[in-house]
Structure 1
Amino acid sequence: MTIKFCALSSGSNGNCHYIESKGTRLLIDAGFSGKRIEELLSSIHVKANTIDYILITHEHIDHIKGAGILSRRYNIPIIANKNTWLGMADKIGEIKDKNIKVIQTNEDFNLGDLGIYPFNIYHDAAEPIGYIIYYKKVKISIATDTGWVDNSIKNKIKGSNLYLIESNHDVEMLKNGSYPWFLKQRVLSEEGHLSNIDAGEILSEILLGNGEIVLLGHLSKENNTPSLAYETVKEAVGEVYENIELDLSLRDRPTKLYTL
């Protein structure tokens, strides 16, 4: 049996991703209304009432908006670290005690037939994390909403079969754009978001060129374009581009349902 992955939507308006193995279905983040997440899942022929778990990366609203309603509607456990729970508890409404699951950052755990490793990232949230998902010999790494990827993170995610990595902005578009100065500084900081160049440099260091799938996510609507993100990363990774599958996770439609 294989594992399936779909980036349902990625951007500052909301983030939600789907993973399915033989025995487990989960969402990484639930940053839209419950109705919208149901629609996104329906577009890949998945019913929301079949979701087993919702994993949260951090407490910003574009990652948690629909988590509470889905948990209450379908009795789904929500999984997050302690500080993320403290930051989001008053935003997502009342959750049954049995559906409040607290994890430790940088400590692995299992959900059904999936292995999960939550690793620390750098963002202006209480305790932001990325996730590595293991299924048999397959490894999927998700790292968005981070202003910096240090060597520790690179070493953790290297060797993945599929990467979802942030490619948020073009630096010049951001600097010359309409954002107020303080917001530009936030985005550019080590607790902000990765630029296209950042994403390309990171990928150039970790890709092995053995058929990895690379999805660029959390693209800014104001300070980036899909083609600019794609071409910047393509140039940065060099010859390895010929031996990977590079695609975009956009805000207005899901990616295809990848089978690994």
Structure 2
Amino acid sequence: MTMHFSVLASGSTGNAFFVETEDQSFLVDAGLSGKALEGLFSDIGRDMSKLSGILVTHEHSDHIKGLGVIARKHKLPIYANAKTWNAMERNIGQIPIEQKFHFEMEQIKTFGSLDIESFGVSHDAAEPMFYSFHHEGKKVVLITDTGYVSDRVKGIISNAEAYIFESNHDVSMLRMGRYPWNIKRRILSDVGHVSNEDAALAMSEVAGDRTKRIYLAHLSLDNNMKDLARMSVEQTLKTQGIIVGEQFSIYDTDPKKATELVSV
């Protein structure tokens, strides 16, 4: 009785996450082309047509690019809150009414052996929310696209076995980079994205004795690098008295390559 997951793709160019139990399987976000998503499913040895459904976090294109195409092709249910539905419908094409479902913020929905809990984040979208997955006493948390992690969210996501956690940018790279100032200001704001250091500080508060894996996710292609993110997170955690490798391990994600399908 285990829960498996894979970060299929993560980054500013496209995001998708897969989670399954013995009787349920869900895709969270479909921010790549239908063809690319089919390839990623093949890479982890899974069949997209057998999904129980697709969960949507918010309407930005790097999270919904392939949503309409694959939902129609495989006749998959889509779950999103009302404001996200309103914001994304014009971008995903016509979805049959029998495939449209509401999953509101701060809800827990039960699908067979899997309980899925939604929670709001601080991001410049209509009503962005992410998910915590519960199965047989185990918990996996997906949290990216947030300008900061509130105390309320920290309480919801604390002491999970695994986290897929945003580590979007290095502040110095962002400040010195080519983005116009209004974009930099948006990313650095409370409705933008968390930096490597801020991510690590939040991790230090939510990681518990059950925590074994933390995946660094949604890295900016322009303002971060895998090695830099990992080093910054490890150094910041060390200042909080946490030595990576003793309590938990840190893993990379990639915008085009799925992580290994692992169990918790």
Q: TM-score, normalised by structure 1?
A: 0.98
Shift of 1:9: 0.5
Structure 2 letter corresponding to 1:201? L
Partner of 1:29: 29
1:14-53 CA-to-partner distances (Å, cap 9, x unmatched) read 0001001000111010101111100001000111111110
Partner of 1:5: 5
SS of match in other structure, 2:10: strand
Alignment of 1:39-54 (within 5 A): 39-54=39-54
SS of match in other structure, 2:117: strand
SS of match in other structure, 2:219: coil
> Are 1:209 and 1:240, in contact at CA under 8 Å, matched by a contact in 2?
no
Partner of 2:228: 228
1:96-117 CA-to-partner distances (Å, cap 9, x unmatched) read 1111001210011112321011
Alignment of 1:20-169 (within 5 A): 20-169=20-169
Partner of 1:244: 248
In structure 1, how many angstroms separate the alpha carbons of the residues matched to 2:113 and 2:33? 28
Partner of 1:255: 259
In structure 1, how many angstroms separate the alpha carbons of the residues matched to 2:39 and 2:104? 32
1:131-160 CA-to-partner distances (Å, cap 9, x unmatched) read 011111110111100001011111110011
In structure 1, how many angstroms separate the alpha carbons of the residues matched to 2:228 and 2:68? 36
Structure 2 letter corresponding to 1:226? K
Shift of 1:211: 4.5
SS of match in other structure, 1:140: strand
> Are 2:160 and 2:211, in contact at CA under 8 Å, matched by a contact in 1?
no
Structure 1 letter corresponding to 2:81? N
Classify 1:72/1:142 alpha carbon distance in 2 versus 1 (closer, same or farther; 3 Å). same
SS of match in other structure, 2:186: helix
> Are 1:5 and 1:258, in contact at CA under 8 Å, matched by a contact in 2?
yes
Structure 1 letter corresponding to 2:200? G
In structure 1, how many angstroms separate the alpha carbons of the residues matched to 2:262 and 2:150? 28
Shift of 1:209: 4.5
In structure 2, how many angstroms separate the alpha carbons of the residues matched to 1:29 and 1:221? 19
> Are 1:168 and 1:217, in contact at CA under 8 Å, matched by a contact in 2?
yes
Misfit runs of 4+, over 3 Å: none
Q: TM-score, normalised by structure 2?
A: 0.96
Q: How many pairs align?
A: 260
In structure 2, how many angstroms separate the alpha carbons of the residues matched to 1:206 and 1:46? 31
Stretches of structure 2 that go unaligned for 5 or more consecutive residues are none
Aligned-residue RMSD, C-alpha: 1.0
Stretches of structure 1 that go unaligned for 5 or more consecutive residues are none
**Same amino acid, percent of matched pairs:** 38
Shift of 1:255: 1.1
Shift of 1:208: 2.1
SS of match in other structure, 1:85: helix
> Are 1:208 and 1:240, in contact at CA under 8 Å, matched by a contact in 2?
no
